[in-house]
Structure 1
Amino acid sequence: MYIFMGTPELKLVEENYYIKIDEIKQIKSNAYFVKTKDGKEFFLKVSRVDKEHVDFIIKIFSHLKNTSFKSHLIDFQKTIDGGFYFLDNHKKVYLLCKWIDGRSADFRNVYDLRRVVSILHHLHLASLSFAEEIKDSFYPSYQEVFCRKYSQVIQMKNIIHQKDNLSYFDEIFLNVLSRFEDRFVESMHMMKKVEDYFKEENQKVLIHHDPAHHNFIFSEKGVYLIDFDYAMVDYSVHDFVNLGVRVLKTNDWDRNMFRIYLKLLQDKNILNKFWLQTFWILMYFPQEIWQVGFQYYFEKQPWAEEYFLKRLKGSERIQAGKEMIIKEFAGGIFKWC
């Protein structure tokens, strides 16, 4: 028996799901393969997502299970009290579902990429009524999101300038901002020009918000979409920008593969004028640079400085790569704004 959780936690899982664990293996920091004594196999996820968001995820599943998208979902196992999860004394959330033998999507493979685009598009269409139900909930505009993140970047600079002694990361981060800070301002300016027109042409949907290759499981029975931890109501363009950047990174910024990706979106009739303009602006925004700074200065993640430096260097490469693609495919970021 390979145990990567403490005995008390294992006992809680057994008690809440009325199972006897024979084997448990950690496959990610918060995910486990579980095999029971009667030979059943499960996927166990343990996270610190707040209860309110877990309830939102369950609400998503309840809606999607009544649509044609249900074939892409893996059912949650019910606890002994009929719920879909339980909380321990530390407010960690435990979710259990059937184990699916399969492989992750390969973004270098056109067949896989076509299926992934189709599944995301299917999710968006299947969730239109769900998004409509919660349309009164407050979701900031892209302009507001850009403005908030840029304000945080300014705060990061102030934090650095208030220090008596700068770390090496502080110095490198300031250097990166000196070269890319204008992109934050330009993104806000361009989004202000197109967002109202974009909203007139597009409806909000449920987006997955983390279309990583490992969240698409290809099995003999079909393709499953997993891990809705970051799901939210937004516009489809947000999911497809995130997917597009992942495709580019996986394929070492190969232009031909990205051209294929855009053609797949076109084949699904996803593209329209202001959708595509918004797509390029979202891609242009230095999201990755902001994220590294946010994790270092605001979240204060307990990672080694070498790791932060590596991620910061990677964020620079990503921003340069995105701008190269935008220049080639959109004719330059200011051509149409």
Structure 2
Amino acid sequence: MDTAFVKKIVAEKYGVMAVTIEKIKNVYLICDERRKYCLKIIKYEKPHFLFILATIKHLYNNEFKAVPPIIETLDRKEYIELDNNYAYLTPWLAARESNYDNPLDIEMTAKVLAELHIKSKGFEIKDNMKPRIGWFKWFDNYRTRKKEILDFKARIEKKEEKSEFDIIYMEHMEEELLRCDQALQHLGESDYYIKMTKEIRGRGFCHHDFAHHNVLIGADNRVAIIDFDYAILDTHLHDLASLLIRRMKNGKWDLENARFILEAYDSVYRVEPEDIPIMAAFMEFPQDYWQVGIQYYWEKQPWGEDFFLKKLAKIIEDKEEKQEFIDEFMFFNYKGKGGRTY
């Protein structure tokens, strides 16, 4: 999208007379003579965009101050239509990306995530929204992804000439398919359905992309959460288990690392003993192995063979230590004691 067009639109819709505009991924950094703004572009159909916008508004209206406020247009609308997409404007945050290897950052991040989950409670779905829904779907998702891995196998077998990636991916497939079955079995042995039945009544949601670059930390150590594009109606354990993975992957699988995050989260939102086996099953499913297969065989991303080989090598290198951790974590006798219960 041409920056001259963006400049014209923000002047018309917001009265912002931009001096400079810079495109950074799916946002535009817009500077006038006094302030900096972020114009966030969402490339989804309108019903899903309205769901994303509503999650942000719900948190802000519930006094969750870690989301930047949405700036209304001159005619008091919360978003604009922009070149067949939708966009909203917020202040630009002067902050750095969090570092999940930094104990102070990960502690603050876990506490803010817990607060986000509490403040997400009571979310109301309206007829004009089309949300992502994760309630009760973990079993179906894992079974579907296992079938997709088998589809990758069929595609590889049909090739007359197999790439190096194909050969290595196939070498590890039987083990990963077994891991799919183990994750399904362990999820079935957990209190997953009981937990979901309880949590769905709370009508909360997850951020669903709690990566370090979506958690910003200002000079005053205030945490800000951005990019709700993947928000989903699901248990808070989805986000918490994902945070554990992001902190420990690539050779940092350690029960003390997990305990540190759980204690920080638990100081705000109680972690129950039955939560541990559910999260362990979530973490056990070979999501990274499945995802790199999707990118290579279905999406055919143009990232080059070397990129995929390096990505696959990291997954393979990490899997034994990860499984050893999960086998221990599944029976971790953690007793929450600090935060609120729901």
- TM-score, normalised with respect to structure 1: 0.85
Indicate yes or no: 2:191 matched with 1:198: no
1:173 to partner: Cα distance: 1.6
**SS at 1:53 equivalent:** helix
Which residue of structure 2 lines up, in the alignment, with residue 55 of structure 1?
Answer: 50
Structure 1 residues 146 and 250, CA gap change in structure 2 (3 angstroms): closer
Indicate the larger mover: 261-270 or 46-55. Answer: 261-270
Q: Percent identity?
A: 27
1:197 to partner: Cα distance: 3.5
C-alpha distance in 2 between matches for 1:171 and 1:179: 14
Structure 1 residues 81 and 298, CA gap change in structure 2 (3 angstroms): farther
Instruction: Name the aligned partner's letter for residue 171 of structure 1.
Output: I
Aligned 8 A contact 1:45 1:95 in 2: yes
1:287 to partner: Cα distance: 0.6
Instruction: Name the aligned partner's letter for residue 120 of structure 2.
Output: S
C-alpha distance in 1 between matches for 2:160 and 2:153: 14
Match of 1:83 among 77, 96, 107: 77
RMSD of equivalent CA atoms:
2.8
Indicate yes or no: 2:35 matched with 1:35: no
1:233 to partner: Cα distance: 0.7
Unaligned runs of 5+ in 1: 333-337
Which residue of structure 1 lines up, in the alignment, with residue 337 of structure 2?
Answer: none
Structure 1 residues 235 and 35, CA gap change in structure 2 (3 angstroms): same
Structure 1 residues 251 and 68, CA gap change in structure 2 (3 angstroms): farther
Which residue of structure 1 lines up, in the alignment, with residue 61 of structure 2?
Answer: 66
Indicate the larger mover: 276-285 or 51-60. Answer: 51-60
Aligned 8 A contact 1:75 1:98 in 2: yes
Structure 1 residues 157 and 102, CA gap change in structure 2 (3 angstroms): same
Indicate the larger mover: 184-193 or 231-240. Answer: 184-193
Which residue of structure 1 lines up, in the alignment, with residue 108 of structure 2?
Answer: 115
Q: Larger RCO: Structure 1 or Structure 2 (Cα < 8 Å, ≥ 6 residues apart)?
A: 2
Which residue of structure 2 lines up, in the alignment, with residue 8 of structure 1?
Answer: 5
Indicate yes or no: 2:214 matched with 1:215: yes
Aligned 8 A contact 1:75 1:97 in 2: yes
Aligned 8 A contact 1:245 1:322 in 2: no
**SS at 2:179 equivalent:** helix
Match of 2:162 among 161, 166, 170: 166
C-alpha distance in 1 between matches for 2:318 and 2:114: 25
Which residue of structure 2 lines up, in the alignment, with residue 278 of structure 1?
Answer: 278
Question: What pairs up with 1:261-272 in 2 under 5 angstroms?
Answer: 261-268=261-268, 270-272=270-272
Which residue of structure 2 lines up, in the alignment, with residue 94 of structure 1?
Answer: 87
C-alpha distance in 1 between matches for 2:254 and 2:2: 41
| Pairs aligned (count) | 324
Structure 1 residues 331 and 305, CA gap change in structure 2 (3 angstroms): same
Cα deviation, 1:258-302, whole Å, max 9, x if unaligned, reads 331233244445322321110000010001111111122222222
Instruction: Name the aligned partner's letter for residue 188 of structure 1.
Output: L
Instruction: Name the aligned partner's letter for residue 86 of structure 1.
Output: I
Structure ranking higher in helix proportion: 1
C-alpha distance in 1 between matches for 2:317 and 2:10: 43
Indicate the larger mover: 232-241 or 193-202. Answer: 193-202
1:98 to partner: Cα distance: 0.3
Aligned 8 A contact 1:107 1:250 in 2: no
Aligned 8 A contact 1:241 1:282 in 2: yes
C-alpha distance in 1 between matches for 2:324 and 2:2: 45
1:141 to partner: Cα distance: 1.9
Instruction: Name the aligned partner's letter for residue 73 of structure 1.
Output: V
Structure 1 residues 13 and 314, CA gap change in structure 2 (3 angstroms): farther
Aligned 8 A contact 2:107 2:260 in 1: no
Structure 1 residues 92 and 201, CA gap change in structure 2 (3 angstroms): closer
Which residue of structure 2 lines up, in the alignment, with residue 21 of structure 1?
Answer: 18
Structure 1 residues 54 and 319, CA gap change in structure 2 (3 angstroms): farther
**SS at 1:21 equivalent:** coil
1:160 to partner: Cα distance: 1.7
C-alpha distance in 1 between matches for 2:61 and 2:154: 50
Aligned 8 A contact 2:99 2:105 in 1: yes
1:317 to partner: Cα distance: 3.4
Which residue of structure 2 lines up, in the alignment, with residue 293 of structure 1?
Answer: 293
Which residue of structure 2 lines up, in the alignment, with residue 335 of structure 1?
Answer: none
